[in-house]
Structure 1
Amino acid sequence: MIVLKRCLSTASNVKSSSQIPLNSIKSALLLVRQPIVTPDLTKFEEVYYNYQEELERRLMWTFPQYYYFKKGSLSERRFVKAQKGPVSKQPGVFFQKGIPDIVHNRERRSKQEIIIPKEEYDESSSMSDFNRPVVPNSRITEADKTNNVKSLERKLPRTLHLLIKDEKLGWKLPSFELSEKDKLLHRNAEAGMRNLGGESINTWTVSRKPTAVLKYLSNKLVDSKENSEGLVREFIIKSHILSGEFSPKDIEYAWLTKEEIKDKVSKEYYEATEFLFSRV
């Protein structure tokens, strides 16, 4: 019998999975509510888009009134009457911005504003009537006015993240102990979220792979390179809420933006998880 020796190998210092207790492994959930409306524009963006719109309207073709309205018809007279009309060239009058350049009842050096003749609006008429007044909803909701951090209807242009208040660790991402040895991390996080917040919540897990891992020792956050005995590893799984509501019974929670999270959690926790939170 020939005995082979491991001459060119070193002994492994890594513990096998059977030596790591289940209660030292947790799966946390980074649950995100995506923005519902477009982001708020900065002052520079407002000026830029306004300039582009004004330039586009100025260079656009003159409205072909003669094509849409028969000459001498009642509809043409109503349309012409509704228009403001440019200031025409007058003899003996000095124009500070230059002599008007008018073609087809339009000052070609500026944008053309078309006014559609209004008709009496009948509430019983079809909802497809183009004269129906359209009133957009406010971007500021009732939850914003009352500062209700438990509502998903707040901060519509921003990304919200779910945080819960732990009795020992304070405000943090919701985490759940691994219930079974062979259970996947993302499955454990999804099941824990529904046990905590109810079955009415509908989520979508972005990836099975964790986006980050946090290490705790005696209920204190430690460096990611720490490998001492008694460590509790918390693997963070990213997920999006699609519909439903997170409604736990006996726990304090909040839907917060990145700036609000910084004021809520501890300094060490924010430094370890800052890159996970969206700036939008």
Structure 2
Amino acid sequence: MSFAPRSLSVVRACGSVPRRAASQRFSSSSSSSTSTSTPPPLIASLLLSRPPLLTPTPTPLEEAYHSHSQAIEHALSSPLPLDFYFKSGSLPLRRHLVADHSYSSDIYGGRLAGSAPDVGDIPPETEYQTFDRDHWMKLDEKERGERSLERFPEEEVYCLVQSTNKKWGFPQTEVGRLEGLDEAVSQKLIGLDGSLGGKGMDSWLVTRKPVGMVKDGESTTFFLRGHILAGEPSLSSSSSYSTFAWLSAAEVEDRLRNQGDEHLWTSIKGMFGQPDPEVDAE
């Protein structure tokens, strides 16, 4: 009974020796490797975007298709049980009868739709103020221009920043030793003390894994995707960026090409949904 604790202590002591030896070997090998050669720089870049605010405006072909499908569905569907959904003689029932007859006349013609229902005088409905789909974009564009988050409400817009050398690009930061890509972006870019000023911006990373990679010499840049929910970047005086802009995919391409970054756009255009002609040819 007395030898069990002693054998346990011996096992623990023996088990701790390899751990210390492994840690010493790791520290010595890491120090020797860092002293001989420095690893190539690893950069984490953020593809920050605002999703579309409105559904896209349908094309004439889409409008014709949906109208045809709705007409077929209306012709094959069973009649609406009016007694179940409406009170007899009520105003909603009379408005429904008028609207249904008008729709049937447009689809089948006046001969098949029959005579108009006798519902008497119907008071007009409450008038609502309507706005154009780009109303808020035009309103905010006058005040903030490209920094407006309401630009292109039917498209996805992306955040580009301008560095002190007047060159546009994506927000990026260098990844430290034993630091994850998502940690570098969360702390150094969109964090409270990040380059984009996270105090006035509510955003989140879609995934911790990169969605693209660009290799320039020995430097490797990994792109992480993020969405902005509210607010805007607040660039401080100590930030390496002077201003920012919310641009569509076409504007991002034009801006990168005009400043001579055609290689960068060719490498990342797949992240914007633009296929590579060489890949399609294969």
Larger deviation: 205-214 or 162-171? 162-171
Deviation at 1:31, TM superposition (A): 0.8
1:187 aligns with 2:183: yes
Q: How does 1:227-266 map to 2 (within 5 A)?
A: 231-249=218-236, 251-266=242-257
For 1:107, give the aligned amino acid. Answer: G
Corresponding residue of 1:276: 271
**Distance (Å, rounded) in 1 between the aligned partners of 2:138 and 2:110:** 52
Distance 1:136 1:53, change over 3 A: farther
Deviation at 1:51, TM superposition (A): 2.0
1:38 aligns with 2:76: no
8 Å CA contact retained: 1:143, 1:149: no
SS of equivalent residue, structure 1 residue 251: strand
- In structure 2, stretches of 5+ residues that fail to align are 1-31, 102-107, 275-282
The counterpart of 2:133, out of the listed 130, 139, 148, is 139
**Distance (Å, rounded) in 2 between the aligned partners of 1:241 and 1:40:** 23
1:196 aligns with 2:195: yes
SS of equivalent residue, structure 1 residue 189: helix
- In structure 1, stretches of 5+ residues that fail to align are 1-15, 87-96, 121-130, 218-230
Q: How does 1:1-280 map to 2 (within 5 A)?
A: 18=34, 19-21=37-39, 24-62=41-79, 68=86, 70=88, 79=94, 83=98, 100-101=111-112, 106-107=113-114, 118-119=122-123, 131-144=125-138, 146=141, 148-168=145-165, 170-178=167-175, 180-194=176-190, 195-198=194-197, 199-217=199-217, 231-249=218-236, 251-266=242-257, 267-278=262-273
**Distance (Å, rounded) in 2 between the aligned partners of 1:136 and 1:189:** 41
Identity, % of aligned positions = 23
* TM-score calculated relative to the size of structure 2: 0.62
* TM-score calculated relative to the size of structure 1: 0.62
Deviation at 1:38, TM superposition (A): 0.9
Question: How many equivalent residue pairs?
Answer: 217
Deviation at 1:236, TM superposition (A): 1.3
Deviation at 1:57, TM superposition (A): 3.6
Distance 1:211 1:163, change over 3 A: same
For 2:253, give the aligned amino acid. Answer: K
**Greater helix content:** 2
Deviation readout 1:14-73 (Å, 9 max, x if unpaired): xx9844358x22211011211121122222111111222233344455566677565xx7
Corresponding residue of 1:221: none
Deviation at 1:258, TM superposition (A): 1.2
Distance 1:64 1:142, change over 3 A: closer
Higher relative contact order (CA 8 A, sep 6+): 1
**Distance (Å, rounded) in 2 between the aligned partners of 1:114 and 1:161:** 56
